[in-house]
Chains A and B, each alone.
Chain A
Amino acid sequence: MVTTLEKTSIRRPIGPPPHNGNGWWWSDGDDPQALAVPSWKLGTWLGLGTLTVLFAALSSAYVVRIGGERLAFALPATVWLSTALLVANSVALTIAQRRLRRKDRRFVAWLGVAALLSIGFLISQVATWQTLAAQGLFFTSNPHSSFFYVLTAVHAAHVLGGLGALVRCVYHVRVRSSFGRLRRALGMTATYWHFVDAVWLWIVALFLWTSL
């Protein structure tokens, strides 16, 4: 049963007009169900926002704690090796994504390259820590070394998480997931890795800055 009311009486004194629920800051247009960004991308970016605050909190704690004191040791040369490996890792993942977009099966090889580069990074990290330890710089030696170990260790934990994400992509290849699913998995993985690589550059820049 449908009752149609007299049209003259339907005036709404308060609130936006019922037939036009356009946004205030932005309009949703005719297709209001979703933003232009797919959910997995939105979720990934929000998650990376959280991680950004984590690293920002640790970094600002470092800056506050040292109170303008200069870095007391030289960064080991392996830091530069680590940097190169992670930059290469980002490049490899970008290539893998492009290959996948062109439906080129060889993208899997680039996933392997990215994984090898990140394992190389972890080895280089261990070497960095050993170099510092050999110089007598341990976890508790001074605030610089404490924060260097903390920041690089928290970062390394995220590198391990990234390796897990790469394994998940390979798993999707193995079980012959759909193209869309594969693209989504690789898209999330690549975005995450670019973030982890950018955090590494930030950490290096931070310690270069405090050694000025």
Chain B
Amino acid sequence: METPNIAHAEAAVEAHHHEPQSFWTKYVFSQDHKVIAMQYMITALVMGFIGMVMSWLFRIQLAWPDHNLPFLRFLMPTNMESGTLQTPGYYMLVTMHGTIMIFFLLTAILTGGFGNFLIPLQVGARDMAFPFLNMLSYWFYFLSCVVVTISLFVSTGAASGGWTSYPPLSALAKATPGSGLGQDLWLVSIALFIVASTMGSLNYVTTALNMRAKGMTLMRMPLTVWGIIVAAVLGLFAFPALFAGAVLLLLDRHLGTSFFLPHLVLGGEHIVRDGGSPLLWQHLFWFLGHPEVYILILPAMGITSEILSNGARKPIFGYKVMVASLVAIAFLSFIVWGHHMFVSGMNPWLGFAFVITTLIIAIPSAIKTFNWLGTLWKGNIRFTTPMLYAIGFISTFVTGGLTGLFLGNSALDIPLHDTYFVVAHFHVVMGLSSVFGIFAGIYYWFPKMTGKMMSERWGKVHFWLTFIGSYGVFWTMHYLGFMGMPRRYYSYDSYQFLPPSMHTLQMIITISALIVGAAQFIFIVNFLGSWLRGKKAPDNPWQANSLEWQAPTPPPHGNWGPKLPEVHRWPYDYSVPGASADFVPQTVPVEVEPSGEHHSAAVAVNGHGHTNGHGNGHHA
């Protein structure tokens, strides 16, 4: 068996002698985790932008059903012929918005982007455990993005049966236009995505467990790493269920099997299938689908914890409980999938069991919220842009979590199911929260990734517009849900039970959504502009403790130069009484005085090298 020391030594030698030189191996088919992280991040942001533009188009339809906006035809050449969004186009946009946002933006950027960049740097490794597999992971992801983008341009349109792709709609090519080639491409791209995610997740878990620098015990790992690897484990054990479902659905579509298809009459024509169960798909889908939302939220929780502690200049409150609650949420997420199916038809006793497991998730979630507030309590808070986003995360997570208590209860879910209340709930708790975590992370680690600072002023403008605008969208949506307004309808003109005030709310939502959309251009300009001509970033601009800030900016190939860092403490030593600065990096040794009754420690703060962050850009 190879010892880890030898592995590290080999890596050190490799870092010096095998740095890729050609453009192709350095920036395109790179095996360097930092390059792969940027590839993941930028691809995911581009996909997210596409998903956001889709939401504008269907929001315009919902607020002004009789709109006539011919200039939008350049965004949507088909299904918008007369300047009005047509029904098939509406369903296609809603479906692809969900698919792109959940898989191709949020999952990809949180695990592929942040996981790749942060895990080796925060545990003190030179790269991932399996760099080749890592490269393969990105290129499979890229391929899945290409396939899903192509599906937008096929003549019958992209998949339009919802991001959940329930059969029979998704199983019969004749059911809707999007159920044709578009649905096939959807299934293929999801299968490719699952392969990519699996290869990435293997790497994240193995690297974090096995490539840690000397002194980096599991209980000294930053919570970001914990959040990402717990999410990676969820991915490893949840995604295969959807893969199996996708294989069976493709067979139902093309080889005439009856896994999900019962005997049906479609347009007067008998479909020659027998006995298949659409519910079976729902079980397979949601066995992934529920852990999937935690794949999105756990890394964002980790990022938030990290930034809150740094911004409050206080140790994270209850570190071990934070780790334990991450693991508890992950475990529970595997036994709650039935709460998505309360009205699909299930034994009430089974529903009851799912209600109990679902509501139990409130306990670890509340513990985490309590600990975040405990971290902020009496902190010397620096309201930087990443910090604002981290605080915004707590806000949206609490708001969305509370509505989760309504929906997790089957008695309340029956009237609320498939209304806008559900749309509001999952967008706030899973969409907004993870987006806020992502923005917090981008603003926070951008200096380390690129060597440049992002503009704080424009960052704050971006935050406030996004924060207030998002609440304008989703707070309002809850009221529509209470009115009983069903989701997934193209037009609400002919429903007597909906009061006219509904239209006012719809317009408020759409205007807020467009404002949030406009705010993202500020982010794009800030991101690209700062990268090109931003202020040069010091090594440790946030005066943070974790290892990545002790590496040069931006970190070179192999991250650490000839010598690996050595870890002596946890990453949350902020405002240690008596220390010369209000932060003590993980690499600073602790001298323990062996004599005397009270074992008191002396901190030796190393004033040279990278340990004490010469760039104090954010001193009060």
Contact = CB atoms under 8 A, between A and B. Distances in A.
A193 to B, nearest CB: 19
A64 B257 contact: no
A5 B280 contact: no
- Residue from A5, A13, A18, A37 with most neighbouring chain B CB atoms (10 Å): A18
18 contacts: A2-B604, A3-B604, A7-B593, A10-B576, A16-B219, A16-B319, A18-B570, A18-B601, A19-B568, A19-B590, A21-B217, A28-B217, A32-B218, A33-B8, A39-B207, A50-B237, A58-B248, A65-B277
A58 B256 CA distance: 18
B244 A28 contact: no
Given A16-B219, A16-B320, A19-B569, 18 more contacts: A2-B606, A4-B591, A7-B601, A11-B578, A14-B317, A15-B572, A22-B217, A23-B219, A24-B219, A24-B323, A33-B212, A33-B216, A35-B210, A39-B207, A46-B205, A57-B240, A61-B245, A140-B256
Contacts of A116: none
A210 to B, nearest CB: 15
Contacts of B205: 42, 46
A85 B319 CA distance: 52
- Residue from A14, A23, A58, A143 with most neighbouring chain B CB atoms (10 Å): A14
A32 B215 contact: yes
Q: State the 8 A-B residue pairs at the shortest beta-carbon distance, nearest first.
A: A9-B578, A54-B240, A57-B244, A18-B569, A1-B607, A53-B240, A21-B217, A57-B241
B269 interface: no
A136 interface: no
Interface residues of A, number: 52
A1 B608 contact: yes
A15 B240 contact: no
Contact of B577 (A11, A28, A42): A11
B602 A5 contact: yes
Nearest to A29: B217
A161 to B, nearest CB: 13
A170 to B, nearest CB: 20
A66 to B, nearest CB: 9
A7 B323 contact: no
A10 B589 CA distance: 13
Given A2-B604, A33-B212, A143-B258, A39 B206 contact: yes
Nearest to B6: A180
B208 to A, nearest CB: 10
B80 to A, nearest CB: 39
Given A7-B593, A15-B572, A16-B219, A65 B280 contact: yes
A15 B259 contact: no
Contacts of A58: 244, 248
B2 interface: yes
A177 interface: no
B606 A33 contact: no
A21 B215 contact: yes
A150 interface: yes
Label chain B's interface by main secondary structure: mixed
B247 interface: yes
Contacts of B2: 38, 180
B256 A65 contact: no
Given A50-B236, A57-B287, A61-B259, A33 B4 contact: yes
A12 B573 contact: yes
Given A3-B604, A34-B209, A154-B247, A18 B202 contact: no
Contact of B284 (A47, A50, A61): A61
Contacts of B396: none
Contact of B206 (A14, A32, A33, A42): A42
Interface in A59-78: 61, 64-65
A32 B566 CA distance: 11
Contact of A150 (B243, B248, B276): B248
Contact of A39 (B129, B201, B275, B601): B129
A140 B211 contact: no
Given A21-B570, A32-B217, A64-B280, A54 B243 contact: yes
A7 B5 CA distance: 34
B258 A12 contact: no
A8 B24 CA distance: 56
Contacts of A164: none
A3 B606 CA distance: 7
Interface in B258-312: 258-259, 275-277, 280, 283-284, 287
A75 B580 CA distance: 76
Contact of B590 (A18, A22, A61): A18
A104 B218 CA distance: 40
B217 A50 contact: no
Interface in B218-263: 218-220, 236-241, 243-245, 247-248, 251, 255-259
Contact of B4 (A10, A21, A22, A34): A34
B232 to A, nearest CB: 9
B130 interface: yes
B603 interface: yes
Contact of B276 (A14, A51, A65): A65
Contact of B258 (A5, A26, A57, A146): A146
Contacts of A2: 604-607
Contacts of B219: 16, 21-24
A33 B214 contact: yes
B213 A43 contact: no
A39 B206 CA distance: 6
B198 interface: yes
Contacts of A150: 247-248, 251
B603 A65 contact: no
B132 to A, nearest CB: 12
A155 to B, nearest CB: 13
A70 B6 CA distance: 57
Nearest to B320: A24
B248 to A, nearest CB: 7
B36 to A, nearest CB: 17
A100 B422 CA distance: 59
A2 B236 CA distance: 46
Contacts of B243: 54, 57
B408 interface: no
A8 B598 CA distance: 9
A53 B244 CA distance: 9
Nearest to A66: B275
B594 to A, nearest CB: 11
